[in-house]
A and B are shown apart, each in its own frame.
Chain A
Amino acid sequence: MSLIIDGLSWLLLMCGAFLGISGAVGTVRFPDFYTRVHASSVADTLCAALIILGLILQAGFSLVSVKLIFILAFLWYTSPAASHAMVRAAHFMNVKPYLLNKGKPPSKP
């Protein structure tokens, strides 16, 4: 039984690490600021969730895993506020996005 739980938790941790690396690669690879925020939000959300789920499986049924669930909940509540603040600041500083459809003009701040 402990073998199954260990294996599952390792699988979750490795998937989370892969998503974190993907976020880093995307941050380098994408063309402009706005698209890079999308890449880093991969690392904000599902990467953190998978790593914390793996750690919960390691911690077992205890107060520690309850605290890990709280960490995950607060991370998911607050990380959108952080990325929204960055994107909003960039928008107000007139950072021009790289857009595919040049036809529709974005609204001026």
Chain B
Amino acid sequence: MSLYLRVLTVGLVCFWLLLSGFWYKPLILILGLFSVALTAYLAMRIERVYSLRSVTKIFIRVPLYMVWVSWEVVKTTLDVVKRIWLPKRYPISPTLANVPMTQQTRLGKTIYANSITLTPGTVSVRFEQDGKLLVHALTADSMDDLKAGGMDSRVSDLEE
């Protein structure tokens, strides 16, 4: 069994137990086992090789990255709220530009594009042919922050 399948199965069992709350009824536990097996099978059909290869990546680096993204969300939300309520003092400057992206795997690209869209003020529009990402940003400053590549290098550190 690959590491991915083991982590997926254990995670799904924990998720099912926490969602159901019935921990002592055999029939429901067996039904839960079936649904976990079905979900793991479907997930393996979607992506057989997972691009986060080691346990430290999955259990330490990814949560750290989530914390960092949450902090980015707080900062950019404050910026957008400023521009909503005080448009005279903080004017918007919408920008559409290609942002380079260094991720190799599908999962890394998805994480990067999703993080861009999750932070208010920037939305990923489409993948370009030459490995770039078309991004719409509310202000030119947030586009410059993206092009500086802090988020890009963090996501690239996650994969490989």
* A interface residues, Cβ below 8 angstroms from B: 19, 22-23, 25-26, 29-30, 32, 34-35, 37-39, 41-42, 44-46, 49, 63, 66-67, 70, 76-77, 79-81, 83-84, 87-88, 91, 97-101, 104, 106-107, 109
Chain B, interface size: which category? 35 or more
Q: CB-nearest residue of chain B relative to A40? A: B120
Are B120 and A41 in contact, with the CB atoms below 8 A?
yes
In the bound assembly, the distance between CA atoms of A39 and B67 in angstroms comes to: 23
Chain B CB count within 10 A is highest, among A25, A81, A100, for: A100
Are B140 and A100 in contact, with the CB atoms below 8 A?
yes
* B interface residues, Cβ below 8 angstroms from A: 15, 18-19, 21, 70, 73-74, 77, 80-81, 83-85, 87, 92-98, 113-115, 117-126, 128, 134, 136, 138, 140
In the bound assembly, the distance between CA atoms of A67 and B123 in angstroms comes to: 29
Are B138 and A101 in contact, with the CB atoms below 8 A?
no
CB contacts (< 8 Å) of A25 on chain B: these are: 84-85
Are B94 and A99 in contact, with the CB atoms below 8 A?
yes
Q: CB-nearest residue of chain A relative to B73? A: A45
Q: CB-nearest residue of chain B relative to A43? A: B120
